[in-house]
Amino acid sequence: MAFISLSGTFLQWRRNPVYRSNIAHLFRTTPECCIADPAFFSRIRTSLAPTLSAKNLGIQSIGWKKGHLIISITSLDDLRGVPNCPGATIDDCAYASTVIGEYLDSIDVLGEENYTLEVTTPGTKDELTKDREFHAFKGFCVKVTTSEPVKGHSEFIGNLQGRSDTAITVNVKGRSVNIPRRSVSVVKLVSES
């Protein structure tokens, strides 16, 4: 018996906790986490690709940590680097969670081990690189690091106002600062404390 629970931006598929077995042969243990055999991850990707691609989905990454099999999915267009494409939705996560959970149960490679399958979307990363990210996070606090000093500074922290072909504009203490894109190394979201 399995169930899916919604929590934040991911869905979980949990095996019934009464099941137990030893899957140590698939994993090597480190003090911080367990890392699964890459061949096992490859098998999951290969086996599920046709089913997921029928819904325009693909697996971005797979990981194992402390009893959690974590699989990140996104749209095939996003995996191909198509600009301004939509990523996976919560409904896509629900679909993928069911498909992946049933697949893992059918191959029984995990035996009756108690584990949690987390199907996630890539979500928000700290670094902004795509036009759609700059548009989506307009007004958010960012840190812009430059490769050379601009107006005497190599870091600017403020609210993102926009990005053009030539500059990134940030409101720093009530003043708009245009930072030439050729000088920008990285733009990251920062939490406002």
| In contact, 71 and 119? CB cutoff 8 Å | yes
Q: Say yes or no to pLDDT of 51 above 90.
A: yes
For the chain, list the domains and their CATH numbers.
Answer: 2-120 (no CATH), 131-189 (2.30.30.100)
Report the percentage of the chain scoring pLDDT > 70: 74
What's the pLDDT at 27?
A: 38
- Compute the average pLDDT of residues 19-30: 34
Type of residue numbered 49: A
Residue 85 — very low, low, confident or very high, per pLDDT cuts 50/70/90? confident
Q: Distance (Å, rounded) from C-alpha 189 to C-alpha 2?
A: 37
Number of H helices, E strands in the chain: 4, 12
Token pair of 42 as six digits: 């490859």
Q: Distance (Å, rounded) from C-alpha 121 to C-alpha 58?
A: 11
| In contact, 131 and 163? CB cutoff 8 Å | yes
Q: Is 72 exposed, middle or buried (0-12, 13-18, 19+ CB in 10 A)?
A: buried
Classify 93 as helix, strand or coil. Answer: helix
What's the pLDDT at 163?
A: 94
- φ, ψ at 10 (rounded to 5°): -135, 160
